[in-house]
Structure 1
Amino acid sequence: MVLPFNRLLVLVVLMLVTAGGFSPNAAAEAPLRIVTEELPPYNMTQDGRVTGMSTEVVEAVLKEVGVHASIQSMPWARAYELALNESNVLIYSIARTPARESLFHWVGAIAPTRWYLYSLADRPVKLNSLEDAKGFQIATVNQDVGEQYLISKGFRIGEQLQSSTKYEHNYRKLKVDHVEMWISNELNALYLTRQNGEDPDKVLIRSLPIPDLSSDEGLSMAFSRNTPVETVEKFRAGLATIRRNGVYDAILRKWL
C-alpha cells in the first residue's frame, strides 16, 4: 500500500518527534525541582538536610498541596540560572524586585528581610548616602539581590564590589580587612556573627540601611516561567492557606 504524500509526511514527522523524546506537555511532565542557597537562618544544610525558616515554610506548603519533592542547596548563581532557564523549578528565598518581576511566576512572600551595608566596630564606616559608599570596597554574593542592587546604582564588580559565592566568605573578608563593608540581609549577618562566637551588637556597625530591599515580605517563592499555571496556582493557594491557618506565623515565631 502506498501512502499519500501528506500522510507519509505526517508519519515521518511523528516518528522524528517521538525519537527525539519531545512531548508537547514536556513542562507538565518534568518533575518538580526545588532549589535554594545557603542563607542561614532562612535556608541552610544541617546533618545533610536543608532546613531553616524559609525552608519550613516551603515544606509546609508542600504538605498542604500534597506534593513530594526534595530540596537542593547550591550556589545562588546556579540556582538562579536554573530557575531562569528550566521548567518546573521552584526557587526560594528570592527577593522580589522590579527587575525580576517578569522573569518568574511569583508564588508569594515567605519571610521578612532587612538589608544593610555593614562595617566593623573597630573599623567603622560612616555614610550619609549610598553614593558615599562608592569610595569603599564592599563584599557581595554573585548575582544575589544585594549585588544586583548595587550594580543598578552604578557600583562595579572588581572596582567597589568584591563578589564571592558564599555569604560566610564575605564575613571573613570583612574580618580580615579585605573589604571595608559588607552588604547583607540582617538575619544572615547576625547568624554568621554568632556562629563565629561573637556578639553582633559589639562587632557590627550598620553603616547604611537599604530600604529599597527591606520589607516584612521581602523573600519569596517563585517558579520558573516555563511552569504550568496550574502548578503555580496550586502553590499560591497552599501558601495562602498556611498563612490563614496560623502555620506560617508559628514558623516565624520559632525562628525570630
Structure 2
Amino acid sequence: MVVLRTGMLIIMCISLFSGQCLAAELPEDIVFVTEEYPPFSYLENGVPAGLSVELLETALKRANIEFSSDQIRLMAWPDAYRTALTTNGTGLFSTARTPERENLFRWAGPLMQCPVVLFSENPNLKTDRPANQDLKVVAIRDDIGEQVALDAGISKENIFLVTTPSEAVQRVIDGTSDAWAYGHYPGESLIQTIAEDPDSFYILDELTRSTYYIAFNQNTEPSFIEIIQNELDAMKQDQEQGGISTYEKIVGKYIGPICAEKTHSREQITDLVNLTADAISRDATGTLADIQAGKHPYLDRNDPSLYVFIYDTSVTLITQAGRPDLAGVHFAGKPDVSGKNFRDDIVTGAMKEGTGFVTYTYSNPLETGIFFKEAYYTLVTGSDKKQYVVCAGRYVPCDET
C-alpha cells in the first residue's frame, strides 16, 4: 500500500483578516484503496483513474495537498474492504453508505450514485421468472450487492459469494447462478471485458440506487476527513466562472445525466412561476428580496429542489432562492455539461414567446449526480417597470425519460 509522504503540509488559514496561515502536518498514515470498478476507478496506463479517483484527487489538490492518483492502490474488493476496517488511516472508495456500515467507518461524500441491478444471461428468465426468494444470485464478498439482494427478498442460502467479478460472471455463464447483483455502470463495463459474448447479458431487475462515499477507518484523523468533505462540498457549488461546477464537469466526463427518483409535477412549477410573476408585478423590490432571502414559497420549506430563479434580459441571474450567492452572475454563453446554453434559451424564449419550457442538465440538492431537468419560464414586467424572466424547474422522473 502507498502512504502519503511524511512532511506534507495542509495550509489552513486561521483568519480571513489576519492574512496569516497555520501549517499543520498531514497524518502520515493515510492510505487510499479501491478496486477495478469502472467508471469510478480503474487502471489507465498502469495508473488509477476514474470518476471517484478524480474527485478525490481534485479535492486534495484544492486543499493544497500534494497528491497524485498513483498513490492509490487497487486490489480485490474484499481485501480493500478488510484493509479499511482494520488499518488506521485508510480511505476506501467507492463505498455504498448503508445502515449496516454506518458505524463501521467515518465518511466523506457523497461522490455519486449508481443503480444496483441483477445481471443475467439466461433468456428463459425473461418469460419464466421465479419469485425473488427462488433466484440463485452471486455477489462479491463485502460488496453492497449481497445486502441489496437480501433486502430484495432473495434468501441467504441462494446467495453465493465470490471474490472477483470474473468469478461472478462465470457463474452466470455456466448457470450455477441465475443472476449477479452488482452496480449497473461497473457491471456493464466489466462484462464487456470478461464475457466472451457480452451482448447475451441483460438487466433482469433494478433493485435500488446506492450512493457512494469514501469510507475511512474509524481511527483516521477527523480533521483530514473534514478537509476532504469541505472540498467535495465546495466543488458542487463553484458555478460562478463557467456556469458548471467542478463536480458537474468531473461527473459529466464519465456518466451522463440520469433521471430523478423524486421530483415535482409540471403544474407545481408553473404555479410557482405564475405566483412569483404576479408578486413581482405588484412589488418587485419586496418580492426579489424575499426570493434572495430564501423565503417560502420561493424556496420550498420542505423541499430545497423546488425554488424560483430569475434572470434579466441580458442573462444575468438576478436572484436564485436556492443559491443566493449566485446573484449577479452573468450566465450568457455558459452551457450545462452537455454543452447546451440553456440559460440563453430561457431568456430568448421568454423575449420571443413570453412563456415556455427548456430542458437541460443540472445537479440536484436531493440526489447525487447530474440530472435531466426542465424549467418553466415567463416574462413579467415588475412594478419597477423592469423586465424579469421568472423560472422554476423540476428534475425529470424516470418514467418520462
TM-score (norm. length: structure 1): 0.76
Instruction: Tell me the equivalent position of 1:232.
Output: 225
Instruction: Tell me the equivalent position of 2:79.
Output: 78
Structure 2 unmatched runs, 5+: 1-25, 239-244, 256-401
Evaluate the alpha carbon distance shift between residue 199 and residue 251 of structure 1 in structure 2; reply closer, same or farther with a 3 A threshold.
Answer: farther
SS in 2 for 1:149: helix
1:105 is aligned to 2:102: no
Aligned partner (choices 193, 196, 202) of residue 195 of structure 1: 193
Instruction: Tell me the equivalent position of 2:29.
Output: 31
SS in 2 for 1:226: coil
1:53 is aligned to 2:51: yes
Asked if 1 retains the 8 angstrom alpha-carbon contact of 2:122 and 2:178, the reply is no
Aligned-pair distance for 1:199? 8.8
Instruction: Tell me the equivalent position of 2:171.
Output: 173
Alignment of 1:65-214 (within 5 A): 65-69=63-67, 70-120=71-121, 122-125=123-126, 132-151=131-150, 155-156=155-156, 159-195=157-193, 203-211=200-208, 214=209
Which one has the bigger helix percentage?
1
Higher relative contact order, chain-length normalized (CA < 8 Å, sep 6+)? 1
Instruction: Tell me the equivalent position of 2:367.
Output: none
Instruction: Tell me the equivalent position of 1:255.
Output: 254
Asked if 1 retains the 8 angstrom alpha-carbon contact of 2:108 and 2:229, the reply is yes
The amino acid that maps onto 2:89 is N
Evaluate the alpha carbon distance shift between residue 252 and residue 124 of structure 1 in structure 2; reply closer, same or farther with a 3 A threshold.
Answer: same
Q: Percent identity?
A: 25
The amino acid that maps onto 1:155 is S
Aligned-pair distance for 1:121? 5.6
The amino acid that maps onto 1:93 is S
Asked if 1 retains the 8 angstrom alpha-carbon contact of 2:140 and 2:161, the reply is yes
Asked if 1 retains the 8 angstrom alpha-carbon contact of 2:169 and 2:194, the reply is no
The amino acid that maps onto 1:239 is L
Deviations 1:70-99 (A, max 9, x none): 101111112111211222111110000011
Deviations 1:16-42 (A, max 9, x none): xxxxxxxxxxxx754210011111221
**RMSD of aligned alpha carbons:** 2.5
Evaluate the alpha carbon distance shift between residue 57 and residue 180 of structure 1 in structure 2; reply closer, same or farther with a 3 A threshold.
Answer: same
SS in 1 for 2:59: helix
Aligned-pair distance for 1:154? 6.6
Aligned length in residues: 220
Asked if 1 retains the 8 angstrom alpha-carbon contact of 2:135 and 2:154, the reply is no
The amino acid that maps onto 2:58 is A
Aligned-pair distance for 1:141? 0.3
Asked if 1 retains the 8 angstrom alpha-carbon contact of 2:117 and 2:181, the reply is yes
Evaluate the alpha carbon distance shift between residue 151 and residue 197 of structure 1 in structure 2; reply closer, same or farther with a 3 A threshold.
Answer: closer
Deviations 1:131-185 (A, max 9, x none): x2232321110111111333565733xx412221112331232123232111111
Evaluate the alpha carbon distance shift between residue 62 and residue 114 of structure 1 in structure 2; reply closer, same or farther with a 3 A threshold.
Answer: same
Structure 1 unmatched runs, 5+: 1-27
The amino acid that maps onto 1:224 is N
Evaluate the alpha carbon distance shift between residue 208 and residue 66 of structure 1 in structure 2; reply closer, same or farther with a 3 A threshold.
Answer: same
Instruction: Tell me the equivalent position of 1:18.
Output: none
Evaluate the alpha carbon distance shift between residue 47 and residue 122 of structure 1 in structure 2; reply closer, same or farther with a 3 A threshold.
Answer: same
Instruction: Tell me the equivalent position of 2:283.
Output: none
1:64 is aligned to 2:57: no
Instruction: Tell me the equivalent position of 1:8.
Output: none
CA distance in structure 1 between the partners assigned to 2:237 and 2:196 by the alignment: 38
CA distance in structure 1 between the partners assigned to 2:235 and 2:196 by the alignment: 35
The amino acid that maps onto 2:138 is A
1:219 is aligned to 2:212: yes
Asked if 2 retains the 8 angstrom alpha-carbon contact of 1:95 and 1:219, the reply is yes
Asked if 1 retains the 8 angstrom alpha-carbon contact of 2:132 and 2:154, the reply is no
